[in-house]
């Protein structure tokens, strides 16, 4: 009988530590190439979107606080 070989994806790669280091270096190089393709926002765009998020957070905090207060009063009336 012949021994079945594992599919290529399941076979352990020869080389051990050296191969892992090569894989890490390749990963870092590819990551660096991808990061160079990113269009980073300008300082002005970052500031504008940050302010928009902060305003939204404040509005939602006020809204949820009012809803919580209203439901607390309603539960207090029902239970008293």
Comparison of pLDDT for 10 and 66, the residue scoring more: 66
pLDDT tens by residue, 5-42:
656 656 555 678 888 999 999 999 999 999 999 999 99
Torsions phi, psi for 58 (to 5 deg): -65, -45
- Domain for residue 1, yes or no? no
Torsions phi, psi for 55 (to 5 deg): -65, -45
- Domain for residue 69, yes or no? yes
Domain count, the chain: 1
- Domain for residue 7, yes or no? no
Q: Which domain, by its residues, includes 21?
A: 13-79
Whether pTM exceeds 0.85? no
For residue 4, what is the enclosing H or E element? none
Closest to 26 in 3D by CA, of 14, 16, 18, 15: 18
- Domain for residue 62, yes or no? yes
* pLDDT higher than 60, residue 46: yes
pLDDT band, residue 54 (cuts 50/70/90) = very high
């Amino acid at each position: 009988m012949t021994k079945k070989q594992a599919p290529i994806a399941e076979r352990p790669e020869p080389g051990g530590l050296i191969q892992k280091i090569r894989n890490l270096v390749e990963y870092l190089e590819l990551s660096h190439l991808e990061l160079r393709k990113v269009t980073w926002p300008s300082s002005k765009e970052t500031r504008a979107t940050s302010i928009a998020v902060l305003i939204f957070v404040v509005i939602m905090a006020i809204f949820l606080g009012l809803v919580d207060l209203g439901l607390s009063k309603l539960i207090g009336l029902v239970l008293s």
